[in-house]
Amino acid sequence: MVIYSQAQPGDPEETFRHPTDLNFIVRGIIGPKATIPLMAGAGIPISVAAEMADKRTDYFVSGVFHYQDWFSDKSSYMTKFCFAAIPFKDNGSVRINWEPCIYWNCADDECDKDKAVYDAQLKTLNPQKPK
C-alpha cells in the first residue's frame, strides 16, 4: 500500500489495517530483486509544487509492503517506507529533493522498535495533561 499526503505520515501499518475509501491497496506477485514504480509526485501540477516551495511545505510518500518469501520458513515479511518530497526553487525553476523520513523506513522486527521509538517521541511532544 502506498500513501501520498501533505500531512505528516503516521505508521503506514495502521492505515493498511484500517483502510478508508481513499486508500489504494494492490495485491500481486513480484519477483526477486524486481522493482515497482510508485509514481511519486505524478499528477502534482508545477503551480502546486511552486506554492509548496513558497510555503515550505512537503509532500510525503509512505507505505507498507507485506510479502511472503516462498523459499523461507517464515510465513510473512513486512517493509515500511517513507520519503519526503521537498519542493524548492532554483533559479526560477521548481525542483524537488527527496529525503527519507525519520521513521517508517524499516523491515520486519526493526519495525516494532521503530514504532516504539515513534510512540515515545510522540508522547514526549504531546504529554497528557494531569486530571
Per DSSP bridges, beta strands 59-67 and 2-5 are: antiparallel
Q: Is residue 74 part of a domain?
A: yes
Element (H, E) at 25: none
Number of domains in the chain: 1
Q: With CA atoms as reference, report the closest residue to 105 among 119, 118, 95, 96.
A: 118
Q: Is residue 104 part of a domain?
A: yes
Q: Is residue 131 part of a domain?
A: no
Q: Give all strands (DSSP E) within the chain, no chain letters.
A: 2-5, 59-67, 77-90, 93-100, 106-107
Q: Is residue 120 part of a domain?
A: yes
pLDDT one-digit tens code per residue, 47-77: 888 999 999 999 888 888 888 777 777 678 8
Q: Is residue 47 part of a domain?
A: yes
Domain of residue 57 covers: 2-125
Q: Is residue 130 part of a domain?
A: no
pLDDT one-digit tens code per residue, 15-52: 888 877 665 566 666 777 777 666 555 557 888 889 99
* pTM score: 0.75
